[in-house]
Amino acid sequence: MKTDYRTVRVELKDGIAVFVLDNPPVNQLSGAFVREIADAVREAFNDGAVKALVLTGTGKTFIAGADITEIKELTSREEILKLLAENNRFLNAIETGPKPVIAAINGTCLGGGLELAMACHYRVAVKGAELGQPEVQLGLIPGAGGTQRLPRLIGLPNALEMITAGKSVKAEKALARTLVDEVAEPAALLETACQAARQFIAGRFSRANRVTRYRCDRLPSAAEKKALLDFTRLMTAAKAKGYIAPFKAIEAFEKGLGYDIDADLAVEAGLFADCLVSDVAKNLIGIFLNTRAAGRLPRIEGLQPAKIKTVAMLGGGVMGSGIVHLLLTGGFNAVLWDINAAAVEKGVASIRGTFDYHLKNRKMKPEELEAMISGRLKTTTSLQECREADLVIEAVLENMQVKQEIWKKLEAICRPETIFATNTSALPITEMASVLNDPGRMIGLHFFNPAQRMQLLEIICAQRTADATLASSVSFARAVKKIPIVVNDGPGFYVSRQLLGLMSGSVYLMADGVDAAAIEAAMVDFGMPMGPAALSDLTGIDINYHVNQTFEHRLGARWKVHPLTEAIYRTGCYGRKTGAGYMDYRGATPVPNPTVVEVVKAYLTANGVAPKQASAQQIVELMLAAAINEAAFMIEEGICDRPQDMDLAMIYGTGFPPYRGGILRYADAWGLAAVYRKLLELEKCYGEHFAPAALIQTMAESGRRFYPA
Amino acid sequence: MRDVVIAGYLRTALSRSRPTEPARDWFCKMRADELLAKLLPEVIQRTGVKAEEIDDFLVGCAVAVGEQWGYGGRIPIFMANLPKTIPAKFVDQQCGSSMAGIQIGFMEIAMNFADTVLVGGMEHMTRVPMGMTQVERGLISPNMGLFLDPALSHWDMMTSMNMGLTAEKLVDQTKFSREEMDEWGVRSHRLAVQARSEGFFDGEILPVDAEQADGSVLKVAADQAVRDDATIESMRALKPAFKKNGVITPGNSSPLNAGATAMVLMSKEAARKKGIRPLATLRSIGFAGVDPTIMGAGPVPASRRALEAAKLAAADIDFWEINEAFCVVALNCIRELGIDPEKVNVMGGGTAIGHALGATGIRLVGTLARILNARGGRYGLANACVGGGQGVATIIEKETYDW
What's at A281, amino acid-wise?
A: A
What lies within 8 Å, CB to CB, of B82 at 6+ separation is B40, B41, B44, B51, B54, B57
What lies within 8 Å, CB to CB, of A389 at 6+ separation is A310, A311, A312, A335, A414, A418
**In the predicted structure, residue B117 carries a pLDDT above the cut 80:** yes
Cα of A639 to nearest chain B Cα, Å: 60
Task: Name the pairing type of β-strands A377-380 and A333-337.
Answer: parallel
Is 0.90 exceeded by the ipTM? no
Q: Which chain B residue has the Cα nearest residue A180?
A: B137
**CB-CB neighbors (< 8 A) of A206 in chain B:** 132, 136
Q: Facing residues of A458 across strands?
A: A446, A485
Task: Give pLDDT, residue A338.
Answer: 95
CB spacing of B127 vs A206 below 8 angstroms: no
- Please report which confidence band the pLDDT of residue B218 belongs to, taking 50, 70 and 90 as the band edges: very high
Task: Give pLDDT, residue A242.
Answer: 84
What lies within 8 Å, CB to CB, of A53 at 6+ separation is A16, A17, A18, A19, A41, A44, A99, A100, A101, A102, A197
- Whether the CA torsion A508, A512, A515, A518 is positive or negative: it is negative
Parts of chain A belonging to CATH 3.40.50.720? 300-489
CA distance A269 to A657: 27
Output the CA–CA distances (angstroms, integers) from residue A135 to A71, A87, A247, in the order listed: 12, 16, 13
Suggest the residue from A182, A200, A221 to mutate for an interface test with chain B (most B CBs closer than 10 A): A221
Among A4-8, A214-218, B71-75, B327-331, where is mean pLDDT lowest? A214-218
**CB-CB neighbors (< 8 A) of B23 in chain A:** 258-260
CA distance A437 to A442: 11
Mean local confidence (pLDDT), A187-213? 95
Question: A43 with A97: CB under 8 angstroms?
Answer: no
Task: Give pLDDT, residue A238.
Answer: 83
Mean local confidence (pLDDT), A237-254? 92
Task: Give pLDDT, residue B136.
Answer: 74
Q: Which chain B residue has the Cα nearest residue A257?
A: B213
CB spacing of B136 vs A222 below 8 angstroms: no
**In the predicted structure, residue A35 carries a pLDDT above the cut 80:** yes
**In the predicted structure, residue A640 carries a pLDDT above the cut 80:** yes
CATH number of A497-702: 1.10.1040.50, 3.40.50.1400, 1.10.3720.10, 1.10.10.10? 1.10.1040.50
At B321, give phi and psi (nearest 5°): -115, 105
| Residue numbers of A annotated as active site | 115, 135
Closest CA to A113 of A100, A127, A129: A129
Which of these is catalytic: B28, B327, B333, B385?
Answer: B385
Residues 190-209 of A with CB under 8 A from B: 205-206, 209
- Long-range contacts (CB closer than 8 Å, 24 or more residues apart) made by A641-647: A643/A706, A643/A707, A644/A286, A644/A290, A644/A293, A644/A707, A645/A290, A645/A294, A645/A485, A645/A486, A645/A487, A646/A485, A646/A494, A646/A498, A647/A287, A647/A290
- Which residues from B are below 8 Å from A when comparing CB atoms? 19-23, 28-31, 34, 66-67, 126-129, 132-133, 136-138, 211, 213
Which of these is catalytic: B61, B189, B333, B355?
Answer: B355
Closest CA to B364 of B379, B383, B340, B337: B383
CA distance B125 to A216: 11
DSSP tag of B27: T
Task: Give pLDDT, residue A217.
Answer: 82
Q: Which chain A residue has the Cα nearest residue B19?
A: A216
**CB-CB neighbors (< 8 A) of A214 in chain B:** 20
Task: Give pLDDT, residue B102.
Answer: 98
Q: Please count the other Cβ atoms lying within 10 Å of the Cβ belonging to residue A66.
A: 27
Question: B281 with B396: CB under 8 angstroms?
Answer: yes
Express each pLDDT in A359-404 by its tens digit.
Answer: 998 889 999 999 999 999 999 999 999 999 999 999 999 899 999 9
Mean local confidence (pLDDT), A124-129? 97
What's at B106, amino acid-wise?
A: F
Task: Give pLDDT, residue A209.
Answer: 87
Express each pLDDT in B243-283 by its tens digit.
Answer: 999 999 999 999 999 999 999 999 999 999 999 999 999 99
Express each pLDDT in A314-361 by its tens digit.
Answer: 999 999 999 999 999 999 999 999 999 999 999 999 999 999 999 998
Parts of chain A belonging to CATH 1.10.1040.50? 497-702
Task: Give pLDDT, residue B133.
Answer: 75
**In the predicted structure, residue A122 carries a pLDDT above the cut 90:** yes
Cα of A203 to nearest chain B Cα, Å: 12
CA distance B22 to B16: 10
CB spacing of B20 vs A205 below 8 angstroms: no
A214 closest CB neighbour out of B20, B30, B66: B20
Q: Which chain B residue has the Cα nearest residue A179?
A: B137
Cα of A152 to nearest chain B Cα, Å: 12
**In the predicted structure, residue A709 carries a pLDDT above the cut 80:** no
- Please report which confidence band the pLDDT of residue A172 belongs to, taking 50, 70 and 90 as the band edges: very high
A259 closest CB neighbour out of B28, B66, B67: B28
Cα of A226 to nearest chain B Cα, Å: 11
Q: Which chain A residue has the Cα nearest residue B25?
A: A259
Mean local confidence (pLDDT), A292-310? 92
Task: Give pLDDT, residue A546.
Answer: 93
Q: Is B216 exposed, middle or buried (0-12, 13-18, 19+ CB in 10 A)?
A: exposed
Question: A435 with A408: CB under 8 angstroms?
Answer: yes
Output the CA–CA distances (angstroms, integers) from residue B177 to B173, B235, B246, B324, B350, in the order listed: 11, 13, 11, 16, 19
At A379, give phi and psi (nearest 5°): -120, 150
Mean local confidence (pLDDT), A259-264? 94
At A534, give phi and psi (nearest 5°): -60, -40
Angular region, B377: left φ>0, alpha ψ -120 to 50, beta rest? left
Which of these is catalytic: B28, B61, B95, B333?
Answer: B95
Suggest the residue from A122, A205, A209 to mutate for an interface test with chain B (most B CBs closer than 10 A): A209
| pTM of structure | 0.85
Output the CA–CA distances (angstroms, integers) from residue B395 to B284, B316, B373, in the order listed: 5, 11, 15
Task: Give pLDDT, residue A3.
Answer: 85
Task: Give pLDDT, residue A210.
Answer: 93
CB spacing of B31 vs A205 below 8 angstroms: no
**In the predicted structure, residue A513 carries a pLDDT above the cut 80:** yes
- Please report which confidence band the pLDDT of residue A708 belongs to, taking 50, 70 and 90 as the band edges: confident
Q: Which chain B residue has the Cα nearest residue A153?
A: B137
Express each pLDDT in B149-161 by its tens digit.
Answer: 999 999 999 999 9
Q: Facing residues of A312 across strands?
A: A335, A392
The beta-strand segments (E) located in A269-390 are: 310-314, 333-337, 377-380
Task: Name the pairing type of β-strands A65-66 and A419-422.
Answer: unpaired
Closest CA to B298 of B339, B254, B333, B337: B333
Mean local confidence (pLDDT), B298-302? 98
Task: Give pLDDT, residue A470.
Answer: 97
**In the predicted structure, residue A106 carries a pLDDT above the cut 80:** yes
DSSP tag of A314: E
Parts of chain A belonging to CATH 3.90.226.10? 8-283
Cα of B23 to nearest chain A Cα, Å: 5
Express each pLDDT in B189-204 by its tens digit.
Answer: 999 999 999 999 999 9
**In the predicted structure, residue B20 carries a pLDDT above the cut 90:** no
Flag whether residue A262 sits within 8 Å of chain B, measured between CB atoms: no
Output the CA–CA distances (angstroms, integers) from residue A415 to A387, A411, A424, A566, in the order listed: 7, 8, 23, 47
Percent of chain B with pLDDT over 90: 94
Mean local confidence (pLDDT), A215-223? 89
Question: A462 with A489: CB under 8 angstroms?
Answer: yes
Task: Give pLDDT, residue B19.
Answer: 86
Tell me the helix, strand and coil percentages in chain B, rounded to 5: 45, 20, 35
Express each pLDDT in A53-103 by its tens digit.
Answer: 999 999 999 999 999 999 989 989 999 999 999 999 999 999 999 999 999
A221 closest CB neighbour out of B19, B34, B66: B34
Task: Give pLDDT, residue A1.
Answer: 83
CA distance A190 to A211: 21
Express each pLDDT in A420-466 by its tens digit.
Answer: 999 998 899 999 999 999 999 999 999 998 999 999 999 999 999 99
Closest CA to A216 of B136, B128, B135: B128
Structural domains of chain B in order of their starting residue, each with its CATH number: 4-128+256-397 (3.40.47.10)
Task: Give pLDDT, residue A246.
Answer: 96
Which CATH fold topology does A300-489 show?
A: Rossmann fold (3.40.50)
What's at A543, amino acid-wise?
A: I
**In the predicted structure, residue A107 carries a pLDDT above the cut 80:** yes
Question: A11 with A17: CB under 8 angstroms?
Answer: yes
For the domain spanning A8-283, the CATH number is 3.90.226.10
Task: Name the pairing type of β-strands A591-592 and A583-584.
Answer: antiparallel
Helix (H, G, I), strand (E, B) or coil at B288: strand
Q: Please count the other Cβ atoms lying within 10 Å of the Cβ belonging to residue B289.
A: 14
